Amino acid sequence: MPLETILIIILVLLSVLLIGVLVLRPEITATRGGKIMAFLVLFALPLLCMGMGASSKLENSKSTRFCLSCHIMQPYGKSLRLDDSQHLAAAHFQNHRVPADEACYTCHTNYAMFGGIKAKLGGLRHIYVYYPMPVRVPLRKAPYMPQIRTYCPRSKQTKCRAFRAAATLSSTKWAA
């Protein structure tokens, strides 16, 4: 179990324990120190736990393993391992031009200021459509951003070799 998860569990248990003390001994809140403790226990500590939990899970949502855990995304995961040098996702994944553990997130995120937030909100939309709703609505593919992804961190070039090769193909074949 990751350290951050253990820390969150400890903080939640501490919150529950201290809330139990406040419920069993409400006279503690009569003093100024008791009121401060009640504020911390009832407001600040749960808020801290929620923030840490959300941060941990949002960071986990960048992983390729997380993306491919959904049954709808499994065929796209198989496309990362295609034996076709013309397939853009396979070329980047297999030649380590994108981090293997964040392959989906790297290509489907806009590099602007709020690109990561927009990508994660789009992922939340996927969860909302596929889990609570009984009607299965087809999802739009997450856009690949060729006009934005002009710098390849792995090859240290202005444009990736795979990007240049893909640019010569028709846009309907390589664009998402």
Give the predicted TM-score (pTM) of the model. Answer: 0.58
pLDDT at 176: 41
Sequence ranges of the domains in the chain: 3-60, 64-174
pLDDT class of 37 with cuts at 50, 70, 90: very high
Question: What is the spatial distance between Cα 160 and Cα 176, in angstroms, rounded to a whole number?
Answer: 17
How long, in residues, is the chain? Answer: 176
pLDDT at 34: 92
Using an 8 Å Cβ cutoff, are 95 and 85 in contact? no
Give 101-115 pLDDT, tens digit per residue.
888 888 888 777 888
pLDDT at 133: 61
Question: What is the spatial distance between Cα 102 and Cα 21, in angstroms, rounded to a whole number?
Answer: 44
